[in-house]
A and B are shown apart, each in its own frame.
Chain A
Amino acid sequence: GQQLNQSPQSMFIQEGEDVSMNCTSSSIFNTWLWYKQDPGEGPVLLIALYKAGELTSNGRLTAQFGITRKDSFLNISASIPSDVGIYFCAGPTSGTYKYIFGTGTRLKVLA
């Protein structure tokens, strides 16, 4: 079946640094979503992308829909301690509206 692979799996960064992570698929996606999960909570939507090449920002977060439609990228600028959590990409499986989630990137910020 379709899979979404995220990298890196986890990362430690210093407060103030920029962060980049990506999500790749074995097949084409028409929508990419990025969620964040705080410890002990459910995921919350950060950014939604609907068009190849689209670049969308939400505060310090910027996400891009890859032009091949098989990947997406999330950047966080000037990280702060509350950026800690797990970041998931998600997209609808081919021919359906059922969304699958990536394996997640766990972010830890060192103050």
Chain B
Amino acid sequence: NAGVTQTPKFQVLKTGQSMTLQCAQDMNHNSMYWYRQDPGMGLRLIYYSASEGTTDKGEVPNGYNVSRLNKREFSLRLESAAPSQTSVYFCASSEWFGAGEAFFGQGTRLTVV
């Protein structure tokens, strides 16, 4: 049972470069989320998709875009990476929006130089 799979696990970007973080879940969950984790700040919600076909901003959406490609996949795009986007990014899914338990991927460690 794979659960939530994120790729890549590590990435180094130069300032101004773009990239897309991929996320897929195999639990038939309706809702998916992208968080970033910074030291001392916990996890902060970037964007979420309550159901297939919808996306909404979270707490820290600036500099990011998302695509809910289908029920399984939810990608996060950085159009022009900045050093402030150096962080660990987590994708998560839940059975439905507001369901208490979210299942997380292993994270993508992104460094922008």
Which residues does A use to contact B, with CB under 8 Å?
1, 4, 9, 31, 33, 40-45, 48, 50, 88, 92, 97-104
B34 at the binding interface (Cβ < 8 Å)? no
Determine the main DSSP class of A at the interface with B: loop
User: Which residues of chain B from 42 to 71 have a CB within 8 Å of any chain A CB?
Assistant: 42-45, 48, 50, 58-59
Interface contact A31-B100, CB-CB below 8 Å = yes
Determine the main DSSP class of B at the interface with A: loop
Interface contact A100-B59, CB-CB below 8 Å = yes
Nearest chain A CB to B85 CB, angstrom units: 19
A48 contacts across to B, CB distance below 8 A:
100-101
A42 contacts across to B, CB distance below 8 A:
4, 90, 92, 104-107
CA of A1 to CA of B19, assembled, Å: 30
User: Which residues of chain B from 67 to 102 have a CB within 8 Å of any chain A CB?
Assistant: 90, 92, 97-98, 100-102
CA of A26 to CA of B81, assembled, Å: 34
Q: Take A1-B59, A42-B4 as given contacts and tell me if A101 and B107 are in contact as well, using a CB distance cutoff of 8 Å.
A: no
B41 at the binding interface (Cβ < 8 Å)? yes
B98 contacts across to A, CB distance below 8 A:
92, 97
Interface contact B48-A101, CB-CB below 8 Å = no
Q: Which residue of the partner chain A has the closest CB to B9?
A: A40
Interface contact A88-B43, CB-CB below 8 Å = yes
Q: Which residue of the partner chain B has the closest CB to A96?
A: B98
